Copies of this chain bind each other. A is one copy, B any other.
Amino acid sequence: MSDIEIARAANKKPIQEVGAKLDIPNEHLLPFGHDKAKVSEEFIRSLSEKKNGHLVLVTAINPTPAGEGKTTTTVGLGDGLNAIGKKAAICIREASLGPCFGMKGGAAGGGYAQVVPMEEMNLHFTGDFHAITSAHNLLAAMLDNHIYWGNELDIDIRRVVYRRVMDMNDRALRQIVCNLGGVANGFPREAGFDITVASEVMAILCLATDLADLERRLGDIIVAYRRDRTPVYARDIKADGAMTVLLQQAMQPNLVQTLENNPAFVHGGPFANIAHGCNSVVATTTALKLADYVVTEAGFGADLGAEKFMNIKCRKAGLKPEAVVIVATVRAMKMNGGVDKADLGEENVSAVEKGCPNLGRHIENLKQFGVPSVVAINHFVTDTDAEVQAVKDFVASQGAEAILCKHWADGSKGTTELANKVVEIVEGGTANYTPLYPDEMPLFEKMETIAKRIYRADEVLADSKIRKQLRDWEDQGYGHLPVCMAKTQYSFTTDPNRRGAPTGHSLPIREVRLSAGAGFVVAVCGEIMTMPGLPRVPSAEAICINDDGLIDGLF
């Protein structure tokens, strides 16, 4: 059966029953249909004195076209923990609507380790991204409106840095000239649209701890500069209150279920390049109050995703992860070892061995955060015993353990061993989470720290303009912020083709951006596309409601 066939055959429970597993009373579950609900803000506030459960991060090797199955493993581990008698919940990100109409839509997990309802999670879901789009664009409209009515704040219209957003892959809007058509339509200027997941409002929603923090952060967004280069904030435009009202409902985390009817929080979805790529802090902290084990994941591979999870999300939200699961596949190891995608079906133990150093470096890197890790080998049907053993042997040589997982085919039955190992690690109590750098380290040094200790680059290249910009931000009081690296996810370097565990490279920083509301400084290393386009034949052409009333073509 395909993923979608399995998802459609799911024996879903009413969402109230799923909530009951976490002792959420019915009146605090705001239903969206019968299988989705938001957990009320009021209920979340009532939990503040409760003890936290244990937080487990699922991350992965550098992604390859062979796929690694990070979400699938997150779901599988959550189900596995429930199966061995732990009260566990998972926390993952929401899907973006736009890309579903370009390439085939992303399911939430795969095989027998999925979150449902799949179709709705890939479409409007509970409307969070639409709310973010509205809040983002309200600020943009109010900004241009301020300029139109006399520009009392003295904004330099050439220095408006706040763009608009749309949850759509629409390259036509990347770069536009707006306010055309004469006096009634404003002052013409260059502008553009990003995709909604790239919105700073998205990153803010995912890092805010409550509505008051959300409003404060929204007010902190820098929208433009004056001719004297002083910043103009969303607060100056008086948009922060109305934006918060638009986001009030979206701030409440969404509850759905796995195929095994276990609770899954699906909330927020910031880009993993120019933002931190994790589900919302509110969802994670709420889940920690309600479950004994919370399994969450971070975007891309561990060099980007886990690093940002540790240095941005955990630092800012006061989270203390106690175990890390690094997902690897035999196929991805083979690709890291130089095998083409077309040849992945053939046994090739030496290629597996050759690719393993990529995994090894991630294991090594994660130790620096003080959190013990275990490797999950996400089993694929063509893997041979000898290949699996090669990964296990390599991991053992690194002083860690690799466990074969068959959740794709078997659901929780395929992750019993992994779940037991995670419990053993957590109960061992050896975790001692520490971020990689202190708040007070200068911004450029933070970038160097990540580049050298995580990417193993020899040096960071940045011209004097960038260095001066960083010093200016430090002078303005932004020096304590963490940095958010925007780099290719396919390699430790900035060259997506350099797989494995390269050394001897440099990290060139092309540009730096201040996300003052989200609370990080972005270092752009390479081309970052914030508004994707559609392919020659978009998947949308084949999407329709079929004769049985089911959605075809979305997956």
A-side residues, CB < 8 A to B, are 27, 30-34, 97, 101, 120, 123-124, 127, 130-131, 133-134, 137-138, 140-142, 144-145, 148-149, 164, 166-181, 184-186, 190-191, 211, 215, 238-239, 241-242, 244-246, 248-249, 533-534, 536, 538, 540-545, 551, 553-554
Contacts and interface: CB of A to CB of B under 8 A. Distances in A.
B185 A174 contact: yes
12 contacts: A30-B33, A31-B32, A130-B133, A134-B167, A148-B171, A148-B172, A173-B178, A175-B179, A175-B185, A177-B177, A215-B545, A245-B554
Q: Which of the listed residues A144, A173, A551, A554 has the most CB atoms from chain B within 10 Å of its own CB?
A: A173
Q: Which of the listed residues A138, A169, A533 has the most CB atoms from chain B within 10 Å of its own CB?
A: A138
A170 B165 CA distance: 13
Contacts of A242: 101, 540-541, 543-544, 553
B149 A536 contact: yes
A175 B169 contact: no
B134 A97 contact: yes
Given A176-B177, A181-B174, A186-B172, A249 B536 contact: no
A148 B32 contact: no
A172 B184 CA distance: 9
Contacts of A175: 179-181, 185
A34 B239 CA distance: 29
Contacts of A131: 124
A245 B101 CA distance: 11
A337 to B, nearest CB: 33
Q: Which of the listed residues A141, A170, A241 has the most CB atoms from chain B within 10 Å of its own CB?
A: A141
Given A30-B33, A245-B123, A141 B172 contact: yes
B141 A170 contact: yes
A111 to B, nearest CB: 24
Query: DSSP class of A's interface residues: helix, strand, loop or mixed?
Result: mixed
Contact of A137 (B30, B141, B166, B179): B166
B142 A171 contact: no
A402 B262 CA distance: 61
Contact of A239 (B32, B177, B540, B554): B540
A544 B241 contact: yes
Contact of A145 (B30, B238, B241, B538): B538
B249 A124 contact: yes
B545 A241 contact: yes
Given A30-B34, A176-B180, 4 more contacts: A137-B168, A142-B541, A172-B185, A241-B544
Contacts of A540: 138, 142, 238-239, 241-242
A137 B239 CA distance: 25
A145 B185 CA distance: 27
Nearest to A100: B242
A543 to B, nearest CB: 4
A197 to B, nearest CB: 14
A551 B241 CA distance: 10
Contacts of A178: 172-173, 176
A551 B245 contact: yes
A246 B170 contact: no
Contact of A244 (B184, B190, B246, B544): B544
Contacts of A248: 545, 551
A172 B168 contact: no
B541 A168 contact: no
Closest 10 CB pairs of A and B: A241-B544, A175-B181, A130-B130, A144-B172, A242-B540, A141-B170, A242-B543, A238-B541, A175-B180, A145-B534
A171 B184 contact: yes
Contacts of A181: 174-175
B127 A168 contact: no
Contacts of A169: 141
B142 A545 contact: no
Given A101-B242, A149-B536, A170 B144 contact: yes
